Amino acid sequence: MQAPHPSLSAQSNGIRLLAIDAGASKTIAVLADAHGAELSRARGAGAHIGLLGAGVWDVVLPTAAAALAEVGSALVPQQLHCCLAIAGGEHVAALAAARAASPRFGRLQIVSDGLAALSGCLGATEAGVMVAAGTGTVAWARSRQGKTTKAGGHGFPAGDEGGGAWIGLQLIRHTLLRTDTAELDALANAVLDRFGGDIARLHAWLPIASPADYATLAPIAFDLVGSGGPASAILRSAARELVHLAERADPSGELPLAVTGGLAAPLRPWLSETTRRPIRITADAVIRGALSMARETDAPVSAPALVSGCASIAGRIVTPAGVVTGELRFRRLIEEARPGPVDEDAPLILPGFIDLQVNGGGGHDIMAGDPDAVRGTGRFHRTRGVTTWLPTVITEAADELERVTRSVAAARADSQLGESDMAGLHLEGPFISATRRGTHGPHTAAPSWDLVSRLHALVPLRVLTLAAELPGALLVTALAREAGIRVQLGHSNATYDEAAAFFAAGGSGVTHLYNAMSPLQGREPGVVGAALAHATSAQIIADFIHVHPGALRAALRTISDLFCVSDAVAAAGMPDGDYSLGGVSIRKRGDRVSNTAGALAGSAAPLDVAWRNLRALGLTVTDATRRVSALPAGYLGLKDRGALQPGLRADIVVMDDVGMVTQVYVEGEPGDAR
């Protein structure tokens, strides 16, 4: 064994820093002194927390031990402040399992390798967009207000566009195409050479190859780039994918671009010709960021990490298993619900509400096409417990829909730390029935995948409402499902058979059940009958104005995953008076909002009202809560929120003993209630 490193002698009883970059292809462990100066490093096998969970330590600890052995030291976790930056670090359940199984480090943070790279490229506060390009790819942007936004990082082969594995896949595709046509070129021959020139060996390799295996082929493209042709085209496409990734993280296009990872420098020539953003290449960004995080007393506000030193609230904690009295501990993520005694008047602590249909609120109208109105709407609904929401766009002409959607994109790009999360967009029109349009404008249209695609490119469409009886409805439903968009039946005059065909074709749910749809009758069950017979999920406005309590009870008995939306408009939270919904005049009188013809025009009741009404119907606290949190989260596939469980986002609502919201936290950041 080597003699101890000189830097270790002076601090043998002190704390040292351990940064671990666990990527898909390799793990790098760096030991540093308390000031961040590198002492040694070691390299080992790759890791992915989503695949390994608690077993990640079996992979990374030998590499960490090797780094300490380089300076003649043993691995003593208690003497180390460790930051593990790992591929798949957004897998919250695996993250919590890894935390629970971790050695007893002096201090430990576990973050995604993308967030560590963001810190390594931009420091703790600088605004910019970072693209990490290694075996896989991911982008993180930090706005000038400190809000972080992630794009990509979904894994190979569905994602990781522009990364080493993706380049390898393009090379394989090129080779197979050339083999089919018996026109092998230099690039195809170079790929086949890796398999001894035997196409059968390549075929045998395909079903067992890992992303890291595909990435080993990427150097072939760089080796042959001098000959131009397909190699250059593949690398140019890779650079274009990385730029698109940056644009998804920062739609404004204004933030400078930092690129890191093994492909950053090799791809720079093509990156420079693909974007006008200033580009800088940052080497070793994950390790630099992880060392910085390990040095900090607390994690940077932009890094959702599991660390010691949590905030806490004592009260009656609503968990999926029931109500627990005690203390909820959290930072950006929930740490634990620790049972214990509480005062008689202790508050009720719930997961943040999730509202998938919001037209406005607090005097703001989404259809105004103003980013400030979008953000103002979110701020209002946060005061009523909503921590995740979908701005909802209703029927208008296509160019106006694009204008409004761009305003939502701008608001999302400029959102600030602690604001309610705009998880995407709900497109409620224009693919609706002219006879069931309610207060929507007259610009109804047949479903168009072209329009859906254009809007989806601006803001991720999470929910699409359409009328099943319209021509092309089932085709658009199928295409939207493939794109990950939830398609709902709403504003529809469909027959029972037409509606049943929609559900059979993969329709996901129902938009504001009972309202703006053909009703249930004995001889013609209509959309309502089909929903009660076939839907497993539906949205409902539980303000006791849109839907009678008896009808709500019937839906609760037949649709297992019935959850609430507000369908709130600008009048929500405002005094009686005249307001606007997409240019249509609406009037609020008491709790009712109507158009000039007297028909209902959205709701004035935010989601906390729906929660109280569910309780008034006799639902348990746990059941009422899941219908405004866990069920909508699950419907959108948001696995990182919707419940007060360790490892999930610290989106928290605090209520008094009569169910009024008194405090709201978004990712652990407190905000004012009404």
Catalytic residue numbers? 567
Question: Looking at residue 300, what DSSP letter applies?
Answer: -
CB contact at 8 A, 23 and 113 = yes
Beta-carbon count within 10 A of 428 CB? 26
Rg (CA), the chain: 27
Cα separation of 480 and 508, whole Å?
A: 11
The CA-CA-CA angle for residues 406, 407, 409, to 5°, reads 60
Three-state secondary structure along 604-622? Answer: CCCHHHHHHHHHHCCCCHH
The residue type at 563:
F
Which SS3 state, helix, strand or coil, does residue 139 take? strand
Strand pairing partners for 510? 489
Cα separation of 160 and 134, whole Å?
A: 9
CB contact at 8 A, 491 and 432 = yes
Beta-carbon count within 10 A of 309 CB? 11
Q: Which residues contact 233 (CB under 8 A, 6 or more apart)?
A: none
Query: Helices 56-69 & 92-100, crossing angle to 10 degrees?
Result: 60
The CA-CA-CA angle for residues 368, 374, 375, to 5°, reads 145
Tokens of 195: 């398999």
Q: What is the dihedral sign for C-alpha 374, 376, 381, 385?
A: positive
Three-state secondary structure along 453-508? Answer: HHHHHHCCEEEEEECCCCCCHHHHHHHHHHCCCEEEECCECCCHHHHHHHHHCCCC
The CA-CA-CA angle for residues 92, 27, 116, to 5°, reads 55
CB contact at 8 A, 226 and 150 = no
